[in-house]
A and B are shown apart, each in its own frame.
Chain A
């Protein structure tokens, strides 16, 4: 209820304060050029290939008619923001394995030059999500990097609104990027080009976020639950993470051991008990680095039990089914077991005559044992798209089915270049057709601004030889900004179905070292 009446002194002060705050905010925006955001209006590009991102023109949506003719888009049924693979990281944790980068691309980006800035990137992402104003936000996994409690606490603080500092151990930076580390295979911002003197100190300062205004829902990613996204925590591994010995450069023998094949848990724990061979530095112990168990993680992400499968409505016309494909033992790839099939069946049965978005971290269709789940989706005309992350690249492919088909949408990560999130707008079209409009959005970090740490993070991510630039993770325009047309069809709910039997998972795939995509 609003109150009307004469303007009080308190009201006047509030108005003045708001005006001053607006003025200050306006001043704060007077950086070198406008802040990035919606790529429909303005995108970032490096046309001359010099490694510097510049603002360029917007990227208009292209019509994709792989599954149905382009029709007139009608009312907007729902807008959803997909934020994926943020990888909030405790860059000073002894539980990390940044040295694995030197074993080659098989391990992917174990080390990132901008890894201390993940909180800044998340805060800058939250800002542009809020500016876009979606009905809901889907965080499709790998919110954190290595299943540590402090990583989760920082991430949740920024998503909910508040201040967090990416510091663990004692004050100051103790990690592989320090200028005192004589290992030239790490990027050390104080001495390596592009030089950012003082970046390590600045990065550890508290980061403030307004928090997501829209309701948000998380899917579980392998990095949320598994150490380095690969192996379930154990007391031995947690002791390393909370301990005081950070390995900087492993002996070559250790890397050769990794080259020879995947390490299983037993081999890894044996190595850890003996102490990993190589050069180490001593860092302060920190119990906050302890790994989070599945139950605690699921609870803190808004679920119940130890799995994060769920379904919910966004508005009146969109039904979202979130699946938890994360292995509980080891391995980064997704797996579809009986629980997933049960959750999917239940979710679809509850969708009524709404359009359905299926959401998971690993691409469902590539997961082990996915066939029954895929069969369920293929038969269902209400399914609009299956949305995933994990691969750190934008890719949109049509899935043709007798029921009319749906779209498989993979979205680039927030951690690696292009550091974007995806907007999805579901619009009705005549006779049950659907137009799914999607476009990518940059976080608000300004490129080329050394004082904007989120911008610095994107600049460094762009340079990263193991990152999204060389992997062309941004993808072609048709994988980024597109109007995805689905044909006219009946959206009436089919008869409830029974849970199909699960396919036995391949145990050989459950090992350490499969890595995420790129």
Chain B
């Protein structure tokens, strides 16, 4: 350790440069880890803290005493509590007003929500607990007053979080909780409230499916029974937040991997650069073990503070945005302790990685004969003489490419960093398309019209309309997996006219009783062509379909099934279906909308897969920008390091050039040539890496059930290449400026040694 420390003190500039690289990579890692861990574990954390029930059963109003006997008989039941939910309640506070308030009247027993500020409702009248989204959006807190429909003004006594839906305003509704005892004081004419929700907590969460199975078997006579499990709620929240969070987490994981590669590559190249020094040490009789230990210790000593700083800054930078995303999803951020633990673990990992990456090549090198090391070291002359063509720019390129292994490493590192930037750009453009373009969901219709099915012919006759048909849609769960929500979509004829996600297996459906299922649903229920899809619609008996095809649908995480409507209508005759309207290519959508309006329809544009809450998307965009900036810093670092090393190694040659009259401008050309020799192949590497590795990996991580178009476009590739060239210019300008400050004689003296 003493030798390592002495070695670092002998070259403080180099150590600082190495440390800066590690800090930059750690910054990426800190950002990525904070985002990935925060978002990936947000639901579980909130569910645990809120004591989210294992199963939520909804039904039409009943006297809870009538339902309680059935509930108490269920197996694996630890506790239950009833609620009465009232929707479309007007909420008002100051100038804010919302007609989509949802009131939950809570009685005794476990709550299923976490109070994150203030306290829970008590038995007193005029108290309300509000959901966090409403508190944040309307700037309410304990002590404020909220008007709750007919219940009138109530004092906000607490703020609650329950991850059973996304938060207001990402959800259109906002939820508030009133106590039954309080309301009965206010409205003494009623003896108690009915119930339309029962929350069930399993004694063993792992066996919640047993509780759910028997709950369903015991539900005869209750109307409109729907069950939701924890996993179902997780799916719904993830579906509501769109694909963006999954993309963000996937990207963060990729960024983590990139940071690891950067760190390992940096440490490795540092040892490659010191091969001659290692040779001298070995020639002096230092054992391979001691050489390795010193290399590892030096790596650890540099990495420890640099990684700590990078991770800390990265964590702090990403925490705000991550917390905002989690709040929008009604999820809770990790506590400071949990975050510190994750970052501390990452710090340990970074230090170990750097030390290991330094030790391994040092060990391999130290076991070679010292003479070989010295031959391959920096003191050896280049094997090929430089040809005298191309001027200063070409000379710069030849200087940087002289050490091929290091050159390749720098190109690879820069290429990887640039590939991540390309991925970011592709992500941004995909998010935009997902928000605005229904075609990314495989939808070929762009409008819906609230008209009865028998008026489809009238719509088809409108100019600019290519096709129109009723589109039935029903929420359901898998009959064998009641925690698996899915969406059933039905058209009376060929659904591919309106929706045609890519067929992954089997064939398209051809008649009643057949189904095409999304890959996500197929994975969840173990379906394949030939198997039976058994579903439980919201109410009534189960339905069976024979799976004939599997499609790669992006909608609802691929948990969709396309069928013909016959069986849906037989089970639910009152099922309504707006008309899906597909336009001719180049048709004037506004004119068609106007024509539909004249028919009495309410035409609506079809949206994409992401939520349309601008605040939510802005937060996500901010997080992506943050990652982009940190990766940009890595790129700049890689370039500067490469140029600095080149200049340092070729100090003598540069000094001779300067002595021969090369001015500041010539030096810039020289260095720009060196930088360009790095960034051009790096751009090629970046494009290839993004296309072949990163885009498929991210798409698979985020949505293995669908085909996400995450490949970068030509414009994006050109933009990244241009940005790299800009960085090259910036780095060469800076290095030239520094070099110009150094006396020529210093370099010449070094040459003469």
Instruction: Indicate, yes or no, whether A interacts with B.
Output: yes
CB pair A463 B210 closer than 8 Å: yes
Given known A184-B216, A184-B542, contact A102–B221 (CB-CB < 8 A): yes
Given known A51-B75, A465-B214, contact A182–B544 (CB-CB < 8 A): yes
- Among B74, B77, B217, which residue has its beta carbon within 8 angstroms of that of A187? B217
Closest residue of chain B to A101 (Cβ to Cβ) is B220
Given known A102-B220, A102-B221, A182-B534, contact A52–B207 (CB-CB < 8 A): yes
Kindly list chain B residues whose C-beta atoms are within 8 Å of the C-beta of A179. 532, 534
Closest residue of chain B to A249 (Cβ to Cβ) is B541
Interface string of B167-180 (1 = CB under 8 A from A): 00000000000000
Give the shortest distance, in Å, between A32 (CB) and chain B (any CB): 17
Instruction: Check if A49 is an interface residue, CB within 8 A of chain B.
Output: yes
Kindly list chain B residues whose C-beta atoms are within 8 Å of the C-beta of A182. 479, 534, 541-544
CB pair B217 A185 closer than 8 Å: yes
Instruction: Check if B218 is an interface residue, CB within 8 A of chain A.
Output: yes
Instruction: Check if B480 is an interface residue, CB within 8 A of chain A.
Output: yes
CB pair A463 B536 closer than 8 Å: no
Instruction: Check if A253 is an interface residue, CB within 8 A of chain B.
Output: no
Give the shortest distance, in Å, between A61 (CB) and chain B (any CB): 29
CB pair B210 A193 closer than 8 Å: yes
Give the shortest distance, in Å, between A367 (CB) and chain B (any CB): 28
Instruction: Check if B204 is an interface residue, CB within 8 A of chain A.
Output: yes
CB pair A51 B217 closer than 8 Å: no
Give the shortest distance, in Å, between A462 (CB) and chain B (any CB): 7
Give the shortest distance, in Å, between A161 (CB) and chain B (any CB): 35
State in angstroms the CA–CA spacing of A462 and B75 once bound together.
8
State in angstroms the CA–CA spacing of A237 and B75 once bound together.
35
Give the shortest distance, in Å, between A277 (CB) and chain B (any CB): 16
Given known A184-B542, A249-B541, contact A49–B217 (CB-CB < 8 A): no
CB pair A50 B204 closer than 8 Å: yes
State in angstroms the CA–CA spacing of A177 and B136 once bound together.
51
CB pair B210 A194 closer than 8 Å: yes
Kindly list chain B residues whose C-beta atoms are within 8 Å of the C-beta of A187. 213-214, 217
Closest residue of chain A to B209 (Cβ to Cβ) is A193
Instruction: Check if A168 is an interface residue, CB within 8 A of chain B.
Output: no
Instruction: Check if A328 is an interface residue, CB within 8 A of chain B.
Output: no
CB pair B70 A194 closer than 8 Å: no
CB pair B217 A50 closer than 8 Å: no
Kindly list chain A residues whose C-beta atoms are within 8 Å of the C-beta of B70. 465
State in angstroms the CA–CA spacing of A262 and B447 once bound together.
57
Instruction: Check if A75 is an interface residue, CB within 8 A of chain B.
Output: no
Instruction: Check if B455 is an interface residue, CB within 8 A of chain A.
Output: no
Instruction: Check if A469 is an interface residue, CB within 8 A of chain B.
Output: yes
Total count of chain A residues near the partner, CB < 8 A: 30
Kindly list chain B residues whose C-beta atoms are within 8 Å of the C-beta of A102. 220-221
Closest residue of chain A to B76 (Cβ to Cβ) is A51
Interface string of B56-73 (1 = CB under 8 A from A): 000000000000011011
State in angstroms the CA–CA spacing of A52 and B209 once bound together.
13
Closest residue of chain B to A181 (Cβ to Cβ) is B542
Instruction: Check if A470 is an interface residue, CB within 8 A of chain B.
Output: yes
Instruction: Check if A266 is an interface residue, CB within 8 A of chain B.
Output: no
State in angstroms the CA–CA spacing of A197 and B479 once bound together.
15
For window 167-197 of chain A, which residues contact chain B by CB distance below 8 Å?
Answer: 179-180, 182-187, 191-195
Instruction: Check if A93 is an interface residue, CB within 8 A of chain B.
Output: no
CB pair A191 B210 closer than 8 Å: no
Instruction: Check if B719 is an interface residue, CB within 8 A of chain A.
Output: no
Instruction: Check if A466 is an interface residue, CB within 8 A of chain B.
Output: yes
Instruction: Check if A48 is an interface residue, CB within 8 A of chain B.
Output: yes
State in angstroms the CA–CA spacing of A186 and B211 once bound together.
14
Kindly list chain B residues whose C-beta atoms are within 8 Å of the C-beta of A469. 75
- Among B73, B480, B541, which residue has its beta carbon within 8 angstroms of that of A192? B480
CB pair B541 A193 closer than 8 Å: no
State in angstroms the CA–CA spacing of A463 and B479 once bound together.
19
Given known A49-B76, A50-B203, A184-B479, contact A463–B542 (CB-CB < 8 A): no
Total count of chain B residues near the partner, CB < 8 A: 34
Give the shortest distance, in Å, between A447 (CB) and chain B (any CB): 14
CB pair A191 B73 closer than 8 Å: no
Given known A51-B207, A193-B209, contact A185–B220 (CB-CB < 8 A): yes
Closest residue of chain A to B216 (Cβ to Cβ) is A184
Most interface-central of A182, A183, A470 (chain B CB within 10 A)? A182
CB pair B536 A184 closer than 8 Å: yes
Instruction: Check if B78 is an interface residue, CB within 8 A of chain A.
Output: yes
Kindly list chain B residues whose C-beta atoms are within 8 Å of the C-beta of A466. 73
CB pair A465 B75 closer than 8 Å: yes
State in angstroms the CA–CA spacing of A245 and B159 once bound together.
58
Kindly list chain A residues whose C-beta atoms are within 8 Å of the C-beta of B76. 49-51, 463
Instruction: Check if B160 is an interface residue, CB within 8 A of chain A.
Output: no
State in angstroms the CA–CA spacing of A462 and B76 once bound together.
10
Give the shortest distance, in Å, between A501 (CB) and chain B (any CB): 42
Give the shortest distance, in Å, between B334 (CB) and chain A (any CB): 29
Kindly list chain A residues whose C-beta atoms are within 8 Å of the C-beta of B220. 101-102, 185
Kindly list chain A residues whose C-beta atoms are within 8 Å of the C-beta of B35. none
- Among B72, B75, B202, B479, which residue has its beta carbon within 8 angstroms of that of A191? B479
- Among B77, B212, B218, B544, which residue has its beta carbon within 8 angstroms of that of A193? B212
Kindly list chain B residues whose C-beta atoms are within 8 Å of the C-beta of A470. 72-73
Give the shortest distance, in Å, between B545 (CB) and chain A (any CB): 11
For window 97-119 of chain A, which residues contact chain B by CB distance below 8 Å?
Answer: 101-102, 104-105
Given known A102-B221, A182-B534, A470-B72, contact A49–B542 (CB-CB < 8 A): no
CB pair A193 B213 closer than 8 Å: yes
CB pair A48 B210 closer than 8 Å: no
CB pair B203 A465 closer than 8 Å: no
CB pair B480 A191 closer than 8 Å: yes
State in angstroms the CA–CA spacing of A180 and B203 once bound together.
31
Given known A102-B221, A183-B542, A465-B73, contact A192–B213 (CB-CB < 8 A): yes
CB pair B207 A50 closer than 8 Å: yes
Closest residue of chain A to B215 (Cβ to Cβ) is A465
CB pair B534 A48 closer than 8 Å: no
Interface string of A241-262 (1 = CB under 8 A from B): 0000000010000000000000
- Among A101, A180, A186, A465, which residue has its beta carbon within 8 angstroms of that of B74? A465
Kindly list chain A residues whose C-beta atoms are within 8 Å of the C-beta of B203. 48-51
Closest residue of chain A to B218 (Cβ to Cβ) is A465
Give the shortest distance, in Å, between B449 (CB) and chain A (any CB): 33
State in angstroms the CA–CA spacing of A180 and B544 once bound together.
8
Kindly list chain A residues whose C-beta atoms are within 8 Å of the C-beta of B207. 50-52, 193-194
Most interface-central of A184, A195, A469 (chain B CB within 10 A)? A184
CB pair B541 A49 closer than 8 Å: no
Closest residue of chain A to B483 (Cβ to Cβ) is A193
Kindly list chain A residues whose C-beta atoms are within 8 Å of the C-beta of B532. 179-180
Closest residue of chain B to A470 (Cβ to Cβ) is B73
State in angstroms the CA–CA spacing of A50 and B211 once bound together.
9
State in angstroms the CA–CA spacing of A52 and B203 once bound together.
11
Give the shortest distance, in Å, between A107 (CB) and chain B (any CB): 12
Give the shortest distance, in Å, between A185 (CB) and chain B (any CB): 5
Give the shortest distance, in Å, between B540 (CB) and chain A (any CB): 9
Kindly list chain A residues whose C-beta atoms are within 8 Å of the C-beta of B74. 465
For window 43-71 of chain A, which residues contact chain B by CB distance below 8 Å?
Answer: 48-52
Closest residue of chain B to A104 (Cβ to Cβ) is B221
Give the shortest distance, in Å, between A55 (CB) and chain B (any CB): 18
Kindly list chain A residues whose C-beta atoms are within 8 Å of the C-beta of B217. 184-187, 192, 465
Give the shortest distance, in Å, between A383 (CB) and chain B (any CB): 37
Give the shortest distance, in Å, between A58 (CB) and chain B (any CB): 25
Interface string of B205-243 (1 = CB under 8 A from A): 001011111101111110000000000000000000000
CB pair A183 B541 closer than 8 Å: yes
CB-based closest 9 A-B pairs: A50-B204, A102-B220, A193-B209, A182-B542, A470-B73, A191-B480, A51-B76, A51-B75, A465-B73
User: Would you mind naming 7 contact pairs between A and B with Cβ atoms under 8 Å apart?
Assistant: A50-B202, A50-B203, A104-B221, A184-B217, A187-B213, A249-B541, A465-B75
| Residues on A facing B (Cβ under 8 Å) | 48-52, 101-102, 104-105, 179-180, 182-187, 191-195, 249, 462-466, 469-470
Other A-B pairs beyond A194-B207, A463-B76, 8, CB < 8 Å: A48-B204, A50-B203, A104-B221, A187-B214, A192-B480, A193-B213, A462-B75, A465-B70
